Structure 1
Amino acid sequence: MLDLLRFRRERGWEPCDAGTYADAWAQFGGSVATHPQVVERLAAFAGIPVRYLAWVENGQLQAAIATWGRHLALSKDVLKKQGKRGLFDLGNAELILPLAPGAQVALRHRARYLSELMAPGITTLQAQPEGLALAREPEQYSKKFRYNQRREQRLLEEAGGLIRPMLSLTASEQASVYSELFQRRWGFAATGQEHLAEVFDLLREFMTGSLIYLNDQPVAIQILYRVEAPRWISLEYINGGVDPQQRDFSPGSVLSFVNTQDAWAEARALGKPLRYSFGRADREYKDRWCHRVACYQT
């Protein structure tokens, strides 16, 4: 019965190796949560083998996916089922699969937050009630908004605030700062707190952005992962933490401004669109920074 179910689910797909999947991603693009090394490293960390599948037509590779059983790889549902809930946190990441332009494929594995970019090429998509929040381009903010953000940044720096690159910290230091500021902001522990240093080390080459210190103490941090695809930049804002005692200086808002501005500047220097995802469009603060876009599920 299980073999029959898998046969139906994989109809049109054929097993391939990790190298073929990586070739498809390098050729067609993808997002943070589908990047070959992100998949390989986190799957190995979780101890859950990946089954790679390719869609081939007339001898030409059209698409590839990485799977955990009936789900796409790195699924929260699979982690939960295997008693590894919260082992690592990718938020509600936008899923962009390696898919050739003009291709038509049927995806029957379970997935959520599939990108609007997938709509023309995947025939089995269903609209998802929740949308995704993607950061607006800098010019889409009002002049008053941009003025206020620059003013807040200036006041913070005049009070002794310092903006530092995330990669100036070791993975252990990042984990310690993030754990502390997340707990202060939200009142509970960050997802996968006991494994943060290991995960941050595994994904260090993808980590980007800055954090803020005030009087030599960290006051705001955001976990951002970035990958460069052939035709766009994918950046995921996973989560963050801030010291609520410093709200007079709005360090969280300043950090969002700095990180988004820097990411847009870098993407434009490369001549590529930026898909800077804040995850699910479920909080009012995201509407300040983002516009809502459709996403899909299977």
Structure 2
Amino acid sequence: MLSYWRAWRESGWVPIDATVYTQAWQQFGGSVATHPEVVERLAGLVGIPVRYLGWFVDGELCAAMPTWGRHVALSKDVLKREGKRGLLDLGNAEIILPVAEDAQVRLRHHARYVSELNAPNITGLAEQPEGLALAREPEDYSKKFRYNQRRDQRLLEEAGGIIRPMLELSASEQATIYADLFQRRWNFEAPGKARLSEVFSLLREFMTGSLIYLNDEPVAIQILYRVEAPKWVSLEYINGGVDPQNREFSPGSVLSFVNTQAAWEQARAVGKPLRYSFGRADREYKDRWCHRVPVYRV
């Protein structure tokens, strides 16, 4: 019975190796959550092997995906089932599978937050009730909004605030600060707290953004991962933390402004559109920074 369901689920797909999957991603593009190195390193961390599948037409590879059983790899459902949900956190990351622009493929593996970029080329998708929150372009903010953000940044810096690149810190320093500020902000532990240092070390080459200090103490941090696909830049805002005792200076809002502005500048420097995802469009503050786009599931 198991082999029957796998044959049905994988109909049209054939096994490929990690090297071929990497070639597909580099050719067709993808997102942070489907990047070959992100998948391989995080799957290795949690000890769940990846099965790579490819879709061929006339001998030419036109789509690929990494899988965990009946799910696309790095699935929260699989982590939960295996008792490993607390080992890592990718938030509600956008899933962009490597698929050729003119391809038509069928997807029967469970997945959530499948990108609108994949929707024209994949059958079997259903639109999710909630959308995905993607950061607006800088020009999409009102003049008043941009003025207020610059004013808040100036006031913060005049009060002794310092903006530092995340990569000035070691993985263990990042983990300690993030766990502390997340706990202060939300009053519960950061997801994956026990292995944060390992995850940050494994994904260090993809980490981007800054954090904010005030009076030599960290007061705001955001975990951001960035990958560059052939035709776009994918950036995931996984989660963040802020010290609520410094709310008068709005360090969380200042950090969002600094990080989004820098990300747009970097993307435009390489001539590619930016998909800066805040994850599920489920909070009011995201509407200030983002526009909602459709997202799909299987």
Decide: shared fold, TM above 0.5: yes
Alpha-carbon separation, structure 2, partners of 1:78 and 1:120: 27
Alpha-carbon separation, structure 1, partners of 2:74 and 2:87: 10
Helix, strand or coil for the counterpart of 1:30? coil
Q: How does 1:32-181 map to 2 (within 5 A)?
A: 32-181=32-181
Structure 2 partner of 1:206? 206
The one-letter code matched in structure 2 to 1:219 is V
Alpha-carbon separation, structure 2, partners of 1:252 and 1:115: 27
TM-score for the superposition, normalised by structure 2: 1.00
Q: How does 1:7-26 map to 2 (within 5 A)?
A: 7-26=7-26
* Deviation readout 1:33-86 (Å, 9 max, x if unpaired): 000000000001010010000000001110000000000000000011011112
Alpha-carbon separation, structure 1, partners of 2:249 and 2:128: 37
Structure 2 partner of 1:268? 268
Residue identity over aligned pairs, in percent, reads: 76
Helix, strand or coil for the counterpart of 2:219? strand
Helix, strand or coil for the counterpart of 2:113? coil
Helix, strand or coil for the counterpart of 2:88? coil
Runs of 4+ off more than 2 Å: none
Question: What is the Cα deviation at residue 124 of structure 1?
Answer: 1.1
Alpha-carbon separation, structure 2, partners of 1:155 and 1:16: 54
- What's the C-alpha RMSD, in Å, of the aligned pairs? 0.4
Alpha-carbon separation, structure 2, partners of 1:2 and 1:145: 55
TM-score for the superposition, normalised by structure 1: 1.00
Q: How does 1:250-269 map to 2 (within 5 A)?
A: 250-269=250-269
Helix, strand or coil for the counterpart of 1:117? coil
The one-letter code matched in structure 1 to 2:109 is H
Alpha-carbon separation, structure 2, partners of 1:85 and 1:38: 17
- Listed as ranges, the gaps of 5+ residues in structure 2 are none
Question: What is the Cα deviation at residue 87 of structure 1?
Answer: 1.1
Alpha-carbon separation, structure 2, partners of 1:47 and 1:89: 15
Aligned residue pairs, count: 298
Helix, strand or coil for the counterpart of 2:117? helix
The one-letter code matched in structure 2 to 1:70 is R
- Listed as ranges, the gaps of 5+ residues in structure 1 are none
The one-letter code matched in structure 1 to 2:15 is P
* Deviation readout 1:188-241 (Å, 9 max, x if unpaired): 000010100000000000000000000100000000000000000000000000
Alpha-carbon separation, structure 2, partners of 1:284 and 1:127: 21
The one-letter code matched in structure 1 to 2:247 is R
